[in-house]
Amino acid sequence: MLEKLQRIKNFLENLIEIKPKYGVILGTGLNNLVDSLEIIKSISYENIPEFPKSTVEGHEGNLIFAKINKIDVMIMQGRFHFYEGYSMEEVTLPIRLMKILNIRKVILSNAAGGMNSNFEIGDVMIINDHINLAPSPLIGKNISELGTRFPDMSEPYSKEMIESAERIFNESKICFHKGTYVCVTGPNLETPAEYKFLKIIGGDAVGMSTVPEVIVARHMNMQCFAVSVITDLGIEGKIEKVTHEEIQQAAKKAQPNLITLIKKIIN
């Protein structure tokens, strides 16, 4: 693993001289952030040796180095999922790469189904905790150079970054929620009974990503901030058939608010 990461790092450093301070992972339908940035270099995942390839519609598949308010950032324009057939090691490889590039803070976004009765489609939820129902990405031999065998998860999401986000949303008069995100494997969406179960165990939103990345980031002592866009509802009486295309469209409606948040929180 370490040798593989070093090879990818060497490849990138031969292409570009940049030392990113933040890592950003953009979820389904949230790619337009990059259109408003000063792009230094955009590299297709296809052209990065030993790097996974994004196969899901709405995930462009580019590694972008850019500046936000003169601060260097590395942006994943599309992520990898366990349901695509990748191992958890492959799913979380970009987070490991961020660490060896000396990134210390990670911002993640995703599209999620809302189970909280206060949620509506297009709402934004700051994730302040999670429940993981997918395989742990830390199963297997521990790489002690990256982190301890039993990492603490008492603060998976940075309280400092959450407070900054709340302040930014309030100052910008943007409505938001806070809540617990449940990670499942997918790729099927949930049944009404599953939505009910996930709500009973404490979930406010459910999705198929983010948590493995956060677990690996915390294993390496990186700070994490994550936000969900509510793209469909798993609330009794409001559950309707939904397609992936509709989920992408719902996510796009929240893009302006997320772009405001990400730019300001990095600044």
d(C-alpha 143, C-alpha 151), whole Å? 12
∠ CA 26-43-220, rounded to 5°? 55
d(C-alpha 50, C-alpha 266), whole Å? 29
Q: What is the pLDDT of residue 138?
A: 97
- Provide the domain count of the chain: 1
Q: What is the pLDDT of residue 255?
A: 81
Cis peptide leading into residue 187 (ω within 30°): yes
Lookup: tokens for 230: 């509510």
Q: What is the pLDDT of residue 34?
A: 78
**CA dist 152 to 59, 123, 234, Å?**
31, 30, 31
The boundaries of the domain holding residue 106 are: 2-266
Contact 168, 124 (CB under 8 A): no
Spans of the chain, pLDDT less than 50 = none
Q: What is the pLDDT of residue 29?
A: 61
Find the Cα–Cα–Cα–Cα dihedral 194, 131, 228, 187, rounded to 10°.
-50
Q: What is the pLDDT of residue 57?
A: 65
d(C-alpha 201, C-alpha 191), whole Å? 16
Give the CATH number for residue 246: 3.40.50.1580
* Buried-exposed string 40-50: b where 16+ CB fall within 10 A, e elsewhere: beebebeebee
Q: What is the pLDDT of residue 58?
A: 56
Q: What is the pLDDT of residue 18?
A: 78
Strand partners, 24: 75, 107
Q: What is the pLDDT of residue 131?
A: 98
d(C-alpha 109, C-alpha 55), whole Å? 18
Q: What is the pLDDT of residue 229?
A: 92
Q: Where are the extended beta strands (E) located within 101-188?
A: 105-114, 124-132, 177-183
Lookup: tokens for 165: 């986000």
